Amino acid sequence: MATIEARDIRKSFGATPVLQGISLNVADGEFLTLVGPSGCGKTTLLRIIAGLEPQDSGTVAIGGRIVDEFPPNQRDVAMVFQSLALYPHLTVAENIAVPLTMRRLSTIARLPFGRALVPGGRAIRRSIVADVTKVASALEIEHLLQRKPGQLSGGERQRVAVARAIVRNPKAFLMDEPLSNLDAKLRVQMRTEIAQLHRRLGATFVYVTHDQAEAMTMSNRIAVMMDGELLQVGTPDQVYHEPDDLRVAEFVGSPKINVIETRLDDSGRLHFNGTPLGINATGGRSDPIKLAFRPETARLIDPGCGVLTGAVSHTENLGSDLFVHVRIDRVRDPIIARLVADAPRVSIGDVVGIDVLPSRAFAFGRSRKRIRLHPTGAEVA
């Protein structure tokens, strides 16, 4: 297997910049997910790594070797596309065998009569069949080998596409939103299977998705991209619990993180609508400050007792959790609090207070970069 390194990758389509100096390292055997909204440049970056798209500047190294001048077939990576790109006229076995046939057999040997004309052609074909059977067995699709793609379910076609990538034994696997065309239940099943496959192979995976659930549940590390920029790279826990940028905090997490606009006084204390929040902020006196906190850290208390007070506008009962939407004056979006199943229930129209835990809140300045917080009374650097 191999490391992958992208250094200061830049790419524009006409006058539109798509990648703005992306630098990223993927460790040998790591599962790294590029995640971000549609149009952020993640697929373009993946295609540049694969050699399917040239970059305007910067370099790509695979296994410590710069591959900028290498065509895709010489980079020794396998790509699984969103469309899966299976040949409808070939059987599953023939689809899986395509990369081996192209690599091991000459043009003449690939022809129906070629096996009799090329020395060793029969032996090579037998080795291809053996490798295809081995991979199909590992993915539990050996019973599908004689079917055509049109006879398969979405999950079965997905496994065939993955098998075709695995059979080459490449240095790295590149996957471009391979689950986006599956229904919700099958996506959950397939992301588990892909994560298990990665652990079994110990291979380097670079996976592209706009689905944060896929990124959070499958990856060793996540690279969050927006507007052609790489905002943060870290483990799922780091990206969720320690976002470096407001855009990262708002993108990762469901329901979306709560954000309120606060003011910073001369002593560094945060206020909302004139009410002190018991929080001090460090790092420049930018004003206003965006204070963000996750729904699971918002505590519902008696009205007038919390730093925020509002009326319940909506509830979402998911059985194990209850999401309570609270409308607050001068806050554009409702504040969402997550209650556990056995918590006291509230009704629409109830007036409630919301307490914000300073230790679980994040603050962001005008640049949307993180600002350090302290409980009131703590020493502020």
Provide the pLDDT confidence category of residue 4 given band limits of 50, 70 and 90.
very high
Burial category of 326 from C-beta neighbours within 10 Å (exposed 0-12, middle 13-18, buried 19 and up): buried
pLDDT of 379 above 80: no
pLDDT of 43 above 50: yes
103-128 pLDDT, tens per residue? 877 766 666 665 566 666 678 888 88
Give the DSSP letter string of 241-293. HS-SBHHHHHHSSSSPPEEEEEEE-TTSEEEETTEEEEEEEESS--SSEEEEE
Average pLDDT over residues 228-251: 95
61-70, 134-143, 338-347: segment of lowest average pLDDT: 338-347
Average pLDDT over residues 295-299: 91
321-334 pLDDT, tens per residue? 889 999 998 888 99
Distance of alpha carbon 350 from alpha carbon 330, whole angstroms: 18
164-181 pLDDT, tens per residue? 988 988 889 999 988 887
Percent of the chain with pLDDT over 90: 52
Please provide the average confidence, as pLDDT, over all residues in the chain: 87
Percent of the chain with pLDDT over 70: 92
Task: Look at residue 126 in the predicted model and tell me its pLDDT.
Answer: 84
CA distances from 61 to 77, 80, 96, 357 (A): 12, 20, 27, 45
CA distances from 181 to 49, 81, 84, 184 (A): 23, 11, 10, 9
The domain limits of the chain are: 4-241, 256-375
Residues 6+ positions from 73 with CB-CB distance below 8 Å: none
Topology agreement, domain 4-241 and domain 256-375: no
Distance of alpha carbon 125 from alpha carbon 110, whole angstroms: 9
Distance of alpha carbon 212 from alpha carbon 105, whole angstroms: 42
Residue 3 is encoded by which pair of tokens? 């490391």
Distance of alpha carbon 136 from alpha carbon 125, whole angstroms: 16
pLDDT of 380 above 50: no
pLDDT of 182 above 70: yes
Just give the CATH number of 256-375: 2.40.50.140
184-222 pLDDT, tens per residue? 888 888 888 889 889 988 899 999 999 999 999 999 999
Just give the CATH number of 4-241: 3.40.50.300
